[in-house]
Chains A and B, each alone.
Chain A
Amino acid sequence: MLQYALEAKNLSFRYSHNSPFILKNINLKLRKGEITGIVGLSGSGKSTLIQILNGVIPKRVTGFLDGSVYLNGVDIADMELSYLARKIGTIFQDPDCQILFPCTEDEMAFGPENLCYEPYAIIERINSTAKMLAIEPLRYRNPNTVSGGEKQIIALASVLTLNVGIMIFDESMSFIDDRGKELIKNAILKLKKQGKSILMVEHDLSNLEVADHIFLLKNGTLEPFKGVIE
């Protein structure tokens, strides 16, 4: 058994020839079944790093990338994005840019429908996901009319129905109120209990209290964070 779910080796990246390096020789190991946190200021390259880890860069967003990402020990360079969708789930920074449908249930069905699961299996998965996240009351609601925290939970739910082992959260806690943060935090702890490997990225350290390890992304480099959480 490998110890790491996802591993990045010597990642360097810039968006174009004449722009500065956003990431410089980054090494990161996501331990299986644990919560890894990355903290960094706005613009430090957190979202960029996430997109490299989930394969969006360089498969869909172009740039100059050196280094490799390994999924369970295998380089993801040759994997299709649709294959990675079965392994890595990403909750992107802005839920408004993720939610397609005016009904939560349709949103949750979208992923497994793409992967051609049988309808009854999809319904089952929606049931269990809704139960786990305690969002049954939202099931038939319009995600565009709920609170920011609930919207994030719906974005999370629509990734969770894919039943992936690795979950990546891009500032899921940053733009929501305390109640919303509590919802997300509890959900992440439950996911950990289920054995999922989790990466949380935040600009605010106080949102990373559930993390088992924290790294600091600064000036394009990643190092273990040694500060104290206030």
Chain B
Amino acid sequence: MTKKIDPRVKLLFVICISSLGLAFTKFSMLLAVFFIGLLISHVLKADLFMLLKRIKIMLYLFVVLVVIQSIFVRSGDSLVNLGGITILTSEGLSRGFAYLMRVLIILISGAIIATCDMRRLIQGLIQMKLPYDFAFMTSIGVKFLPLLMEELKDTLTAIQLRGIDIGKLQLKERIEIISYIFTPVFVGALSKAKKLSLSVECRGFRAFDNRTSILTLKFSPFDYLAITLTFILTATLIITNQYFI
């Protein structure tokens, strides 16, 4: 069933939660949006494991952010003092959490889009009147970016397996190593993209201003229901944010 949901419905949902995530400032509202997103991405069988792996890095960033916010935003109650300098305030903490929630909402949105079948996503974008070459580019990008990240991580692991602990190196060496890693992966990705674009053109891509399709998306009754629910949910969240919290 999850595969059958129209990609345009998923897009609408993702646009709604990520705009709300960016617009809301109250922590409780952000938490609500986050959990709704989490719930839906679970229902859609999104790859939350990937998300979990990214959260690990996020948490590190989160701590740094909370401290920086606490030091520079001089409001809220001081929670932790270190040698006379306040390094944790309630305001810093809540801003840090808000930031964390936002990033998580964006990541969830990405995971939801990634559950779309690529051909159907492209078709969805085209039927939303986007130029077809743009639709292709973005959809292919959405699919290939995670692969690129995986490849980068694999190379990094390979280097660590050889007994080089990046964390222990000096900054200059670290940059050197990282450029060793990045360069081949990016050169590889670019060359692959170039080859792909040649093959695509040799099969007539961009021959005309439009193209036909053996696939036409039609909203099912279930899609209409999902669209309606998304609108109701979004409106409810906005109203709650405005008047009740």
Taking the complex as formed, is B2 at the interface, i.e. its CB lies under 8 A from any CB of chain A? Answer: no
Supposing A113-B214, A116-B208 touch, asked if A159 and B195 sit within 8 A by C-beta, the answer is no
Is B202 a contact of A100 with CB atoms below 8 Å? no
Could you tell me the distance in whole angstroms from the C-beta of B126 to the nearest C-beta in chain A?
11
CA distance A119 to B204 in the complex (A): 16
Interface residues on A, range: 35 or more
Contact call B212/A85, Cβ cutoff below 8 A = no
Q: Which residues of A have CB within 8 Å of B212?
A: 112-113, 116-119, 122
Given known contacts A98-B196, A113-B214, A116-B211, A89 and B118 CB-to-CB distance under 8 angstroms: no
Check if A56 sits within 8 Å of B213, measured CB to CB.
Answer: no
* Set of chain B residues within 8 Å of A54, measured between Cβ atoms: 202
Closest chain B residue to A118, Cβ basis? B212
CA distance A105 to B208 in the complex (A): 22
Residue in B closest to A159 when the chains form the complex, CB atoms:
B203
Is A45 interfacial (CB-CB < 8 Å)? no
A115 x B119 contact (CB < 8 A): no
Interface centre among B118, B140, B199 (most CB of A within 10 A): B199
Interface residues of A in 113-145 (CB under 8 A from B): 113-119, 122-123, 126
Known contacts A92-B198, A100-B196, A114 near B207 by CB under 8 Å: yes
Interface presence of B200 (CB below 8 A):
yes
A70 contact set on B, CB distance < 8 A: none
Residues A92 and B195 in contact, CB atoms below 8 Å apart: yes
- B154 on interface, CB distance cutoff 8 Å: no
B202 touches A81 (CB 8 A): yes
A102 at the interface (CB under 8 A from B): yes
> Cβ of B199 and Cβ of A114 under 8 Å apart?
no
Do the beta carbons of A111 and B203 come within 8 Å of each other? Answer: yes
- Which residue of B117, B204, B208 is within 8 Å of A111 (Cβ)? B204
Q: Can you list 10 A-B pairs with a CB-CB distance of less than 8 A?
A: A56-B201, A92-B199, A94-B195, A100-B140, A100-B196, A115-B211, A119-B212, A119-B213, A119-B214, A123-B214
Query: What 4 pairs between A and B have smallest CB-CB spacing?
Result: A82-B207, A97-B195, A114-B204, A85-B204
In the complex, besides A97-B199, A119-B212, 7 extra interface pairs with C-beta distance below 8 angstroms are A100-B196, A101-B119, A110-B200, A114-B206, A115-B207, A119-B213, A159-B202
